[in-house]
Amino acid sequence: MVLGPSGAGKSMLLRLLNRLEVPTAGTVAFRGRPVADLDPLALRRQVGMVFQRPAPFPGSVRDNLLVADPDATEEELLAALDEAGLAARFLDRSADELSGGEAQRMCLARTLVTRPAALLMDEPTSALDPDVRQRLERTARRLADDGRPLVWVTHDLDQCDRLADDVVVIVAGRVADAAAREQFLAGGGVDGDGEGDEMDGEAEGEAVRG
């Protein structure tokens, strides 16, 4: 998981990993290949991203999933829904009728239908109520346990304790040094600059599993 104060650069890190932003220095690599050498659309099918707030497209849940993969079969659509924790009956529901938690899980299914090799999650539970948050956390934990690497950005230390296999703390655009990292994880914030390695120097697409 990736943690840090507001404005530290956590979301920027995800955007760099998904080539929504281009680094001003250094190299971002996915499976040993610089993402600058990869087709952006092909990369985003392999490295899916779920944003903080769900963004359903007009139409049904089926329509939303087919935006991601127009050639997906009925079985593949249902499998993506199941992975995201939604029942088959949701496939023909209007996306406009979904609750916040259902819409977020639909967006996760829309990402999963392309069978990405890794997932980037940008505070996906921050706008959800506790019960829905726990359901999405269980879904993410199951995906990770099944071998799907996740990079999950959060500001919630308790969520980090529940989910994280590995933790990276970002402070002022850099990976925090050991002292600042331990201070932040202890709930004491960060004194001084807390800076360590440059965040945009070298980033590996599957470096963190949340």
Range of the domain at 30: 2-55+117-204
Q: What are the pLDDT digits (tens) for 181-195?
A: 888 888 756 554 444
In-domain check, residue 76? no
Q: What are the pLDDT digits (tens) for 70-102?
A: 999 999 999 999 988 899 999 999 999 999 889
CATH of the domain at 13: 3.40.50.300
Structurally, how many domains does the chain consist of? 1
In-domain check, residue 87? no
In-domain check, residue 98? no
CB 7, CB 174: distance < 8 Å: no
pTM of the entire predicted model:
0.81
In-domain check, residue 111? no
In-domain check, residue 70? no
